[in-house]
Amino acid sequence: MNNIVLIGFASCGKSATAYELSRRLGLKFVDLDKEIEVRYYLTHKKELHYRQIIIQEGAGCFLQIEKTVLDELLRFTDCVIAPGGGAPMNEENRGILARLGPVVYLKTEPDVLLERMQSKGLPLFLNGNPDIGRLRTIWNERHAVYRKLAHCTVENSSLSIAETADNVIDALKRRQLL
């Protein structure tokens, strides 16, 4: 079996859904941000959270590690992969993500995302400002890219993680990708 790749905006539930899918389907769970942290540690001998890598080392360092890890994932099968929300915004990354396996876009409406972000922490791209207008602008830019890359879309604004996983499995089966 190929891998399954979940894409979507920050706080849409990619990691939690990927973990649930991996558990149900007997596949390995891969959280790309965690893999970036591991790679950073191996090369710099210093533990940093992925957000701290961006802050302390710069976005360029983070993006280079992200690309390296994505390239390495091409050698793996039987994984459910949760890349960060920005990974598909790079054209080269989109090519890699598409080659990894079926891509599922977890579509969550901006107002729901903002509510989730405020409870778990705002992403760096909002610069500590929970402005729904700015979030919608970024969401619209990414939404177009996500939709184009995805083999299928699962709207999960009002779904639990279990329900989202059910819908991902159903969508992949309908398209004979699972």
* Superfamily grouping for domain 4-169: P-loop containing nucleotide triphosphate hydrolases (3.40.50.300)
Report CA dihedral (141, 37, 83, 71) to the nearest 10 degrees: 110
Place of tokens 């890349």: 83
What confidence tier does 1 reach under pLDDT thresholds 50, 70, 90? low
Predicted pLDDT of residue 9:
94
Give the global pTM: 0.92
Phi-psi region for residue 123, left (φ > 0), alpha (ψ -120 to 50) or beta? Answer: beta
Going through the chain in order, the beta strands assigned E by DSSP cover 4-7, 28-31, 79-82, 103-107, 152-155
What confidence tier does 82 reach under pLDDT thresholds 50, 70, 90? very high
* Contacts with 89 (C-beta within 8 Å, 6 or more apart), sequence order: 141, 142, 145
Predicted pLDDT of residue 2:
85
Domain coordinates in residue numbering, the chain: 4-169
